[in-house]
Structure 1
Amino acid sequence: MSRPAVKPSGVVPPTRAQRPLAGTVTRRRAREAAVERAALAGIGLLALTVGALAGYAISTGARPYATRDVLPAQAGPFAWKTGVAAARPVAPDLDPLTTGSLPERPIAERPVAERPTLPPRPVPAPPSGYVLRQVSGGQALLEGRDGLRQVAVGGVLPGAGRVLTIRDTGAGWVVITTETIIGPALL
C-alpha cells in the first residue's frame, strides 16, 4: 500500500475513496444544467413560433372565405339558415330612444276615489303644560295654561318641578326641569 503524496504544507489531500459523494454531486449538477438548457431552448422555440404566426397573420391580412367552397356539392343549405329566419323576417327597430324598454300599453282608466277629508287634529298640550316663547338674560318666558310666566334657574314651575338649567342645544333653546324638558314647540 502506498502512502499518499504529502504536499509541502504538510496537508494530505483526501482520496476518492475518502470522498464518496464528490462524483454524484458533479453528475447531478451537470444533469440539472442540461435540463435547464433544454427548457430554455423549448421556451425560445415556442416564442419564435408564436411570433412567426402573428407576423404571418398580420402580413397576409383578412381574406373572406365562403363555406360553400369548402363543402362538397351535394351538401344542402344549413338548417339554421332556412328554418326560422326565412319564416318570419324581423323589421329593424330604428327608434333611437328604445333602450330595451317595454312597449307602451294603454292603461285602463280607474275611477279615482276621493279621499275623505279628515278634520284637523288638535295639537295636544305639552305634558307639563308649558311652551318656551323667549330666552334672554338667563331667564325664560314660558306660556302655560294660566298665561305667561318668567322663570330663572332654581325657580319652581307648578306641574313641571324646579328649573335645573336653561340652555341652547344648537337646535334651539330648552328649559330643563326636574320633571320634563320644555321647548319652543312640542318635543
Structure 2
Amino acid sequence: MIPLKRINDEVFVAKEPIVVLGDEELAFIREKALSSPRQRARICAHRHPEDLLHEMFIALSRQTYIQPHRHRQKSESFHIIEGTVDVVLFEDDGAIHEVVSLGCLGSGRACFYRLDSLRYHTLVIRSELLVMHEVTNGPFDRGLTEYAPFAPDEQNPKLIKDYEQRLSLQLVAYG
C-alpha cells in the first residue's frame, strides 16, 4: 500500500511524488466508500490543493447522491475503472440536455468522458459500486463550484429521495 495522508473519512492524499496505484489501493477506497456516511472515498494523486493538475481515484456506492453542479473555469474527465454510471447533463432549468452512459472496458459502454463547458451535471450510479479516475485542473477552489438551484443539497434526505424519483422519471422519458 502506498503511503497516504488521511484528510478525513473520505479523502486520502498520496504522500510521495511518484504515485503508483493498484489492486490494494483500489480495494482500500472501495472499503472506505462503503463505510463512510456519504458512501464515497478518494485517493488524490496530487499532493496539494494548489496543484495545477488534480487526479483522483474515486469510489462511489450506488447510494451516493451527487448534487447537480457545474464548475467555472474547469474541465473534468472520467475514466471508468469498475462499474457503470450515467452522467446526466442539464439545461439551466433542470431539463435533461444529454445522458452519457459510461462503464469499464468490456461493458459495452464508453469508458471515458470529458466535459469542457459550463453545464450542470450529476452522476447516476448504475452498479453497486463505481470506481473511476477523475482528472481536473487546479487549483482547488470550492467557490468555482456552483450547485444547481433545481436540486436539493446533501442535508435533506427526504428532498433528495423526492428529487431522485423525479430524476428517474425524467431519465425514463428522456429514453
**If the length of structure 1 is used for normalisation, what is the TM-score?**
0.15
Higher relative contact order (CA 8 A, sep 6+): 2
Higher strand share: 2
Which protein is bigger by CA-based radius of gyration?
1
Higher helix share: 1
**If the length of structure 2 is used for normalisation, what is the TM-score?**
0.16
